[in-house]
C-alpha cells in the first residue's frame, strides 16, 4: 500500500515541463528545488539509544503508528475515490470509454497499445494518457500513430491517481464519443488500489513473467475485468503453462475474462478488438 512506500503521503502538484509541455507530479519542495531528499524522519533515528532498550513504551508506539497508518490510508483512498467518481461522471457525460491498462514493466503494454491504435484508429477516435515515473518515450511512440497523447510523469510515485488523471484530461481534452486508454505506471501492486474513474481495469500479463503472477499479485487480478495474456508467440521457447496461469487468475477472480494475444504477430488481437467494441 502506498502509505507504506511513501509515494502518496505528500501532496503532489502538477508542474509543466517547459521543454516538452508534459505534466510532472511533484511535491512542493521538489517543485522549488527539483531535488530528491532522502531524509526519513530523523526524530526516529534519535529515539533509539544504542543499548536497544525495548521497554513498555514500544508496544504503545507500534500501536500508534499502526493506527496512524490506517487513518492515512483511509484519507488518501477516500480523497482519491471522490475525484474518481467525478472523473467517472465526466466520462459518462461525454460518452467516453476509459480503460485503465495495468501490468508489470516489460509486459509489452505499449507495443500492444500501438498495435491497437494503428488497427482501430479509422474505426474509433482514440486518445491516450501515459503514466511513467520519468521520460516521454511512450507518449512519443503513441503520437507516432497519429493519436493524441499526454504524458504524466509521477516522479517517485508508483501509480497514477484520480487527480493526476483529471489534470491530464484537461490537457488532453479527449473528444466526446471516443475511446481513452490510460496506460498506468508499470506496477502490479499499487495501481490495484486506486480507482481513476475508468470503466474497467485491463491487466496485461506476458508469458515471459511466469504463470504464478495472479497468485503473487492477487489484488490486481481481482480488480481487473479482463486479462490479456500477451506475447503468446514466444510460448514455443518458454516453459509456461497457459492453462495453469488462467486457472490461477480464475482462482483469485472467478469472473475475470482471459484473452490470449500477440501484439507482434497479431494473433488473438481480433478477439481483443471485439471486446473493445462490446465495452462500448
Instruction: Report the CATH architecture of 77-279.
Output: 3-Layer(aba) Sandwich (3.40)
Contact present, 161 and 8 (Cβ < 8 Å)? yes
Block residue for cell numbers 487468475: 249
Cα distance between residue 41 and residue 235, in whole Å: 48
Contact present, 150 and 172 (Cβ < 8 Å)? yes
Half-sphere exposure of 41 (CA within 13 A, CB side): 5
Residue 106: which region, alpha, beta or left (left: phi > 0; alpha: psi -120 to 50)? Answer: left
pLDDT at residue 30, as a whole number? 52
pLDDT at residue 44, as a whole number? 47
Show the DSSP H helices in 34-99 as ranges: 42-46, 57-94
pLDDT at residue 59, as a whole number? 57
Enter the C-alpha cell of residue 4: 507504506
pLDDT at residue 16, as a whole number? 58
pLDDT at residue 13, as a whole number? 55
Q: What pLDDT, in 10s, does the model give residues 249-266? A: 999 999 999 999 999 999
Enter the C-alpha cell of residue 46: 534519535
Helix (H) / strand (E) element for 230: namely: strand 226-230
With a cut of 50, list the residues of the chain below it in pLDDT: 1, 4, 10, 27-28, 31-50, 55, 61, 65
* Domain segments of the chain as ranges: 77-279
Enter the C-alpha cell of residue 81: 475515490
Contact present, 206 and 179 (Cβ < 8 Å)? no
Amino acid at each position: 500500500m502506498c502509505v507504506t512506500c511513501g509515494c502518496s503521503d505528500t501532496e503532489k502538484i502538477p508542474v509543466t515541463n517547459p521543454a516538452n509541455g508534459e505534466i510532472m507530479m511533484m511535491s512542493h519542495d521538489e517543485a522549488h528545488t527539483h531535488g530528491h531528499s532522502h531524509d526519513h524522519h530523523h526524530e526516529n533515528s534519535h529515539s533509539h539509544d544504542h543499548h536497544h532498550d525495548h521497554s513498555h513504551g514500544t508496544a504503545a508506539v507500534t500501536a500508534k503508528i499502526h493506527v496512524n497508518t490506517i487513518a492515512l490510508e483511509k484519507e488518501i483512498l477516500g480523497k482519491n475515490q471522490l475525484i474518481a467518481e467525478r472523473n467517472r461522471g465526466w466520462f459518462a457525460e461525454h460518452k467516453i470509454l476509459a480503460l485503465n491498462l495495468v501490468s508489470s514493466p516489460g509486459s509489452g503494454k505499449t507495443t500492444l497499445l500501438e498495435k491497437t491504435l494503428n488497427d482501430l484508429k479509422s474505426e474509433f477516435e482514440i486518445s491516450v494518457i501515459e503514466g511513467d515515473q520519468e521520460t516521454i518515450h511512450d507518449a512519443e511512440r503513441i503520437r507516432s500513430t497519429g493519436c493524441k497523447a499526454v504524458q504524466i510523469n509521477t516522479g517517485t510515485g508508483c501509480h497514477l491517481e484520480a487527480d493526476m488523471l483529471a489534470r491530464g484530461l484537461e490537457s488532453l481534452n479527449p473528444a466526446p464519443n471516443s475511446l481513452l486508454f490510460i496506460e498506468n505506471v508499470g506496477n502490479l501492486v499499487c495501481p490495484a488500489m486506486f480507482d481513476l474513474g475508468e470503466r474497467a481495469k485491463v491487466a496485461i500479463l506476458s508469458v515471459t513473467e511466469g504463470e504464478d503472477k495472479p497468485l503473487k499479485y492477487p489484488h490486481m487480478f481481482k480488480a481487473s475485468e479482463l486479462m490479456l495474456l500477451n506475447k503468446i508467440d514466444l510460448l514455443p521457447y518458454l516453459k509456461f503453462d497457459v492453462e495453469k496461469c488462467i486457472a490461477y487468475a480464475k482462482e483469485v477472480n472467478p469472473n475475470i475474462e482471459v484473452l490470449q494475444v500477440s501484439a507482434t504477430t497479431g494473433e488473438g488481437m481480433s478477439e481483443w478488438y471485439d471486446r473493445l467494441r462490446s465495452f462500448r
